[in-house]
Amino acid sequence: MGSKFMARLEGPQTIGRGPLFWSGFILTVAIALSYPLFSDGYTIGNNVYFLAWTFMAMGLSLIWGYGGALSFGQTAFFGVAGYAYGVLTINIGSAYGFTIIALLLSLGLAGIFAAVIGYFLFFGRITGVFLGIVTLSITLVLERFMAQTAGPEWAIGAARLNGFNGMSGMPPLTIPWFGGDIALYADVGLYYVVLALVILVYLGLRILVNSPFGNVLVAVRENPERAEMLGYDIRKYQLAAFVISAMLAGLSGVLYTSWGQYITPSSMGITAAALPIVWVAVGGRSDVTATLIGTLVVLGGFQALTIYGAQYALIVMGALLVFTVLLAPEGIVAGLAKLMARIGGRRKESA
């Protein structure tokens, strides 16, 4: 049973095969778990920001890298789930761990929204660049709509949408416990919860992409006509991957909203919609491990560059995307992994 589980985790990955990788994985997790022992709460809380975005990136890797459908709609699902969490928790509160229920309901809403959009996209046979245009249009329309909800009439119960200024005042995630709820502010507790979610989602996606579902999804990416001739309804596979990726983007939205206790329409703007494309492309869109590593590295670099000005950071991100598309289409992280594997293989042969 254990060997079958590991076989499904291994799969046809560019990065992530063999005992050496899993030893490194365990070491990395151990370092991440012990990191709070050597840092202060403020820095740890800020690092939750980086971890929260990885879910969106991994979801985009699923639909784009494995499914071959480039979606600019991830930030729309991010925003839908984030605003839904804010509305639910502001109106009902956080007692008895309701924030966990609000998280699940928000993910469900993002999934339903994606299912409706995806049905018309995939069953309408919209593919290629047109799929990207439609999803980008939906994202921008939603962002423009939320930006003009500044008046007092734009409220859902006690939750005011506040237009361009965004919604604030929602409670953080809480965990019900004996003697009272544990509030997960931007500190060590939230760090551990989000880190555990990153590990679980990462391993779950590895199993998914290396399952028959993932194999069919890759077949659809490579040759949709042939996959259909083999009897697969490719529309259902694409729709399922689209919904899963949307719910992962929604998870990023809820975690981001609960972390900062605010959300604004700018999180669904054109810049926000383009940045996940850069993260995934730089890491390697066809490998969930490369995507995760690339996202954390690029996010860290982007945050460091914003010290000198957000405009400089965006220029560097654009140049990095152009460099990746022209010189490393498989992704920089995935390309480096392949290069290291070749060097290691040559050393073994020479020995």
pLDDT band at 7 (very low <50, low <70, confident <90, very high): very low
Joined tokens for residue 54: 């990885």
Percent of the chain with pLDDT over 70: 93
Taking CA atoms, 19 is separated from 7, 12, 237, 350, in Å, by: 12, 15, 32, 22
pTM of the predicted structure, to 2 decimals: 0.92
pLDDT of 15: 66
Stretch 309-332: mean pLDDT: 86
Domain spans in the chain, listed from the N-terminal domain onward: 13-29+42-350
From residue 189, how far is each of 48, 85, 170, 227, 230 by CA, in Å?
A: 10, 20, 18, 46, 49
In a 3-state reduction of DSSP, which class is residue 183? strand
Poorest-pLDDT segment among 104-118, 264-278, 326-340: 326-340
What distances in angstroms separate CA 147 from CA 154, 161, 277, one per listed residue? 11, 9, 23
| Strand stretches in 88-239, DSSP E | 155-156, 159-160, 167-168, 173-175, 182-184
**Which pLDDT score is estimated for 28?**
93
Inter-residue contact 139 to 114 (CB < 8 Å) = no
Tell me the mean pLDDT in the region 64-92: 95
Reference 80, options 314, 246, 283, 310; nearest CA is 246
CA distance readout (Å), 314 to 132, 303, 310, 338 = 21, 11, 6, 28
Q: Which helix (H) or strand (E) holds 97?
A: none
Look at residue 3 and tell me whether its pLDDT is greater than 60.
no
Q: What is the pLDDT of residue 13?
A: 54
For residues 20 and 213, is the Cβ–Cβ distance under 8 A?
no
